[in-house]
Every structure is written in structure tokens, then in C-alpha cells.
Amino acid sequence: MFNVVLYEPEIPPNTGNIIRLCANMGCDLHLIHPLGFQLDEKKLRRAGLDYHEFAAVTEHQNYQAMLDALKPQRIFACSTKGRTNYDIPSYQDSDTFIFGPETRGLPNTVLEQYDQKFVIRIPMHESSRSINLANSVGIILYEAWRQNDFK
């Protein structure tokens, strides 16, 4: 199944909601430090409800450590700076999706590592800045899962 990577997440309820989403979809969640919270924080547990025990969550000290551990075949960087709409690529069940922190998104040093066809975006009104991180993960993961016949 898919890997979800949160690069330096900052807001505990978002990560809690994403833990719940990953548990329900069978995805692995990877968190890149530094985190803006402790994993045992009450707000994180509340948002994830009792799904923490059903989710595979791995912490990585930095971006390179995540790459070394996962050795992903394909990574899609999810960013408002992308030019490819999220529904265009043909996803494979081993794909990895990386999302940036809530207040600043993925840094250019990460985005520059990917061909533009692997930097995907969710379309929105031009006057909008971004969509909530947990919602963004849900939108993109469900499209990838749909393309793989929900298997």
C-alpha cells in the first residue's frame, strides 16, 4: 500500500487525523523530525481516537534518513507549487506521498529534487492559499486508492 510522509508536521490534530486515515486505508505513515508536538500529546491522541494501535507510524530524524529507510521507487511531492493536478498521474500501490508542514509547505530544497510531473497539487481558487493538511492527504490518497480499485 501507499506510504504517507509528513515533513516536519506542526499541528497535532492534523497528524492524529492522518493516523486515523492511514489506519483505515492500510497505509504506512512516516514522520520526519522535528515534530511540532510529542507523539503522546493529548490533542494528537484525541484526533486519532483509538486508531494509533492500527496504524504503522515510523519516525525519521530527517529527510535523508527517511529516503534511506524507505528506498521509495516513486515519490510524489504534494505542494501548492505543483503544476500537475493530483488526478493526472497513474498511481501504483507502492507510491510514496510527501506533504510539507502546515505553515510553510515543502521547502524548495525538497521540491527541487523532483521532476515537475511528480510535484502534484490540488486545484483551488486562485485567491486561496492552501487546504488543511489532513484534508489534502485524504483527497490525494483516496484518488490513488480509487485508481488501484480500493485494494
Q: Where are the domains of the chain?
A: 3-147
Stated pTM of the model:
0.93
Taking only the tens place, the pLDDT of each residue in 90-137 is 999 999 999 999 999 999 999 999 999 999 999 999 888 889 999 999
Rounded CA gap, 151 and 132, in Å?
26
Whether the per-residue pLDDT at 48 is higher than 60: the answer is no
- Angle formed by the axes of helices 12-25 and 133-147, to 10°? 10
Q: What is the dihedral of CA 135, 83, 113, 139, to 10 degrees?
A: 20
Q: Which fold has domain 3-147?
A: Alpha/beta knot (3.40.1280)
